[in-house]
């Protein structure tokens, strides 16, 4: 069996603004509290999102506030209600879509379960 | 909610069956096989009747041993770990669920066994001839899934069974996905050991499953404890079912299973053809959509109503989230605990979207799923 090797799953340590930040192998923050707006803007730029506008921030803020308050990501229905966007719209707003875009930029942990 | 995740667990459950089981449970109350008073004896009788029902259901013959477990994973662990001996070689496949792969890897890591995993072709089938080609003098077991939980492809078990019989190697069959969907005949197919779960197409509650053994297959116990019988013996009794059942069994789950197996034999048997017609509609309509890639869906005759697909440009996880959040449709996305299937398909990163139908799926559900997918792909 091959699958994901141990090397594939190694965390990635990056030095950003004189801080050491640890990401998982898919680019998700290891520590929710490492997130800053500056980091988010930098990560957005790396995935081709030159500017984060109000609708991006609305989603990111909702995700972060929800996670901070509940200890988990919002349910799909809560995400839709909380952002005022359909999930299909949300998918198109972030390069990488919902999981690899919005959720990753908001600094939420990588959902490892098969959803 | 439109529920198209029946390969994970069936929903809805036949409520009348489970209500009757609960009533019977409340009425019986006592622990089966754990006392000489009437209620305990009656509880044991009820459980014995279910064992016989299941042996017949799986075509095992009345002399087969039926032991209960928590689920198919639990039963497979009991079978694989109870049968593998130091130096043994095991044959399995790349279609397997982690319920088989992880016990095999564990035993390999412990230096106990080695194993080979048979590939599957582009249509999702193992070539039975490859089983013969992999057999070594040390081959002790062949463990194969009856149908892939990702692709839904039903394997040619009778052919594999004939090869195993010819070489005197027990065939262990994982029927987690097929039990309750399609007929299973252990004797006809030369299957010596079978692992099932109750909560999928047998429509029972979660937490109940088991294994069925041909009379001459005797796994060593891998768990030890109370059996309510032969209690002075410091070792696990070697007679059945105590040999493989340590601790009090799940009476409520067993009674639930008894009811739902009866239901499956009547209602579901009659409706399975309709379920497959709906599946064919789903395949036919989704394959016409742009950006939608279907996997191993070409052969509905040897297929469960399970469909794996991806959408170009959208992660499978996100398609699942959109189906749920925007359309109230429940599907399973990701790797489905079967990583080697995805490795072969090239979908190891994001996995696939899996639509799995059940006996209560309607044409309106399929229409809604196709409409939603049409909207998603634009």
Model confidence pLDDT, tens digit, residues B19-33: 999 999 999 989 998
pTM of the predicted protein model: 0.95
Q: Which of B334, B340, B351 sits opposite A1 (nearest CB)?
A: B340
Among A49, A46, A8, A12, smallest CA distance to A27 is for A12
Contacts of A74 in chain B (CB under 8 A): none
d(CA B333, CA A33): 29
Residue A40 among the catalytic residues = no
- Chain A residues in contact with B318 by the CB 8 A cut-off are 87, 91, 97-99
Query: What residue of B is the nearest CA neighbor of A112?
Result: B334
- Ordered by where they begin, the domains of chain B are 2-10+267-377 (3.90.1150.10), 15-261 (3.40.640.10)
- In which band, very low, low, confident or very high, does the pLDDT at B269 lie, cut at 50, 70 and 90? confident
Is residue B51 over pLDDT 90?
Answer: yes
Number of A to B CB contacts under 8 A, please give it.
66
Strands B171-174 and B193-197, by their bridges, are parallel
Prior bond of B16 cis (ω within 30°): no
Binary contact (A86, B337; C-beta < 8 A)? no
Q: Which helix (H) or strand (E) holds B211?
A: strand B209-213
- Looking at residues A12-19, what average pLDDT do you find? 91
With beta carbons less than 8 A apart as the criterion, state whether B333 and B354 touch. Answer: yes
pLDDT at A60 over 50: yes
The predicted structure's pLDDT at residue A8: 61
pLDDT at B300: 87
Tens digits of per-residue pLDDT, B343-366?
Answer: 999 999 899 999 999 999 999 999
Mark yes or no for CB contact B332/A114 under 8 Å.
Answer: yes
Least CB-CB distance to B376: which of A88, A98, A99?
A88
Q: Note the Cα A17 to chain centre separation in Å.
A: 19
Q: In this complex, do A97 and B332 lie within 8 Å of one another by their Cβ atoms?
A: no
Long-range contacts of B267-274 (CB under 8 A, 24+ apart): B267/B14, B267/B359, B268/B180, B268/B181, B268/B201, B268/B203, B268/B359, B271/B359, B272/B181, B272/B182, B272/B359
Q: Do A76 and B337 touch (CB under 8 A)?
A: no
pLDDT given for residue B270 in this prediction: 84
d(CA A59, CA A63): 6
**Closest chain B residue by Cα to residue A90:** B322
So what's the pLDDT on residue A3?
41
Contact A111 B317 (CB under 8 A): yes
- What's chain B's average pLDDT? 97
In this predicted structure, the answer to whether residue A45 has a pLDDT above a threshold of 70 is yes
Cβ distance of B315 and A100 shorter than 8 Å: yes
pLDDT of residue A2: 37
Mean pLDDT computed over A19-27: 94
What pLDDT was estimated at residue B72? 98
| ipTM computed for the complex | 0.91
Q: Among residues B2, B13, B42, B1, which one has the least CA distance to residue B201?
A: B13
Active-site pick, A5, A6, A114, A115: A114
Q: Does A77 touch chain B (CB under 8 A)?
A: yes
Query: Residue A97: which of B314, B335, B337 has the nearest Cβ?
Result: B314
Give pLDDT, residue B268: 78
Picking from A4, A79, A99, the nearest residue to B317 by CB comes out as A99
Cα distance from B206 to chain A (closest Cα, Å)?
19
Contact A98 B105 (CB under 8 A): no
A79 to chain B, any CB pair closer than 8 A? The answer is yes
User: What is the model's pLDDT at position B15?
Assistant: 97
Tokens of B195: 């692992």
Whether B371 contacts chain A with CB within 8 A: no
Q: Which residue has the higher pLDDT, A32 or A17?
A: A32
Model confidence at A113: pLDDT above 80: no
Strand order in the sheet with B193-197: B65-69, B209-213, B193-197, B171-174, B139-145, B88-93, B113-118
Q: Do A79 and B325 touch (CB under 8 A)?
A: yes
- How sure is the predictor about A105, in pLDDT bands with cuts at 50, 70 and 90? very high
- Residues B336-347: tens digit of each pLDDT: 999 999 999 999
Report which DSSP code applies to B333: E
Decide if A98 touches B, using CB distance below 8 A: yes
pLDDT digits 0-9 by tens, B100-121: 999 999 999 999 999 999 999 9
pLDDT at residue A112 tops 80? no
B-chain residues near A76 (CB < 8 A): 321, 324-325
Taking residues B326-330, report their average pLDDT.
Answer: 98
> Measuring CA to CA, which residue among B80, B304, B34 is closest to residue B182?
B304
Q: What is the pLDDT of residue A114?
A: 59
pLDDT in tens, B132-163: 999 999 999 999 999 999 999 999 999 999 99
Interface contact A87-B337, CB threshold 8 A? no
Give me the domains of chain A, ranges plus CATH numbers. Answer: 5-105 (1.10.10.370)
């Amino acid at each position: 069996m091959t699958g994901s090797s141990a090397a594939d799953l190694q965390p990635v340590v990056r030095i950003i603004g004189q801080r050491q930040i640890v990401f998982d192998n898919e680019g998700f923050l290891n520590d929710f509290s490492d997130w800053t707006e500056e980091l988010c803007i930098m990560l957005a730029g790396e995935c081709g999102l030159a500017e984060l506008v109000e609708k991006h921030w609305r989603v990111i803020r909702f995700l972060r506030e929800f996670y901070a308050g509940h200890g988990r990501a919002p349910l799909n229905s809560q995400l839709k209600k909380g952002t005022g966007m359909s999930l299909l719209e949300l998918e198109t707003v972030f390069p990488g879509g919902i999981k690899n875009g919005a959720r990753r930029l908001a600094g939420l942990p990588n959902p490892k379960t098969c959803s | 909610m439109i529920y198209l995740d029946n390969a994970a667990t069936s929903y809805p459950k036949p409520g009348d069956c489970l209500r009757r089981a609960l009533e019977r449970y409340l009425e019986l109350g006592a622990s089966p096989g754990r006392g000489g008073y009437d209620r305990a004896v009656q509880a044991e009788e009820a459980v014995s009747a279910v064992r016989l029902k299941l042996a017949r259901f799986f075509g095992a013959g009345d002399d087969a041993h039926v032991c209960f477990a928590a689920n198919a994973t639990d039963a497979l662990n009991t079978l694989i770990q109870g049968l593998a001996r130091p130096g043994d070689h095991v044959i399995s496949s790349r279609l397997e669920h982690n319920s088989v792969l992880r016990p095999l890897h564990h035993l390999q890591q412990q230096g106990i066994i080695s194993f080979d995993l048979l590939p599957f072709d582009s249509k999702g089938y193992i070539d039975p001839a490859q089983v013969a080609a992999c057999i070594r003098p040390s081959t002790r077991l062949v463990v194969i899934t009856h149908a892939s939980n990702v692709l839904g492809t039903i394997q040619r078990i009778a052919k594999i069974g004939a090869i195993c019989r010819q070489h005197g190697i027990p065939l262990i069959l994982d029927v987690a996905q097929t039990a309750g969907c399609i007929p299973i005949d252990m004797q006809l197919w030369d299957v010596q050991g079978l692992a099932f779960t109750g909560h999928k197409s047998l429509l029972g509650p979660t937490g109940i499953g088991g294994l069925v053994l041909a009379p001459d297959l005797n796994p060593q116990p891998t768990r030890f404890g109370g059996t309510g019988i032969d209690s002075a013996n410091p070792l696990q009794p070697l007679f059945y079912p105590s040999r493989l059942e340590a601790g009090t069994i799940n009476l409520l789950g067993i009674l639930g299973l008894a009811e739902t197996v009866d239901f499956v034999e009547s209602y579901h048997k009659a409706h399975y053809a309709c379920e497959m017609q709906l599946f064919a509609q789903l395949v036919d309509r989704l394959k016409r959509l742009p950006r939608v890639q279907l996997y191993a869906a070409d052969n509905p005759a040897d297929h469960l109503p399970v469909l794996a697909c991806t959408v170009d440009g959208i992660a499978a996880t996100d398609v699942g989230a959109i189906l749920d959040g925007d359309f109230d449709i429940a599907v399973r996305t990701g790797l489905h605990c079967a990583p080697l299937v995805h490795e072969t398909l090239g979908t190891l990163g994001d996995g696939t979207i899996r639509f799995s139908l059940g006996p209560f799926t309607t044409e309106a559900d399929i229409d809604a799923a196709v409409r939603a997918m049409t909207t998603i792909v634009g």
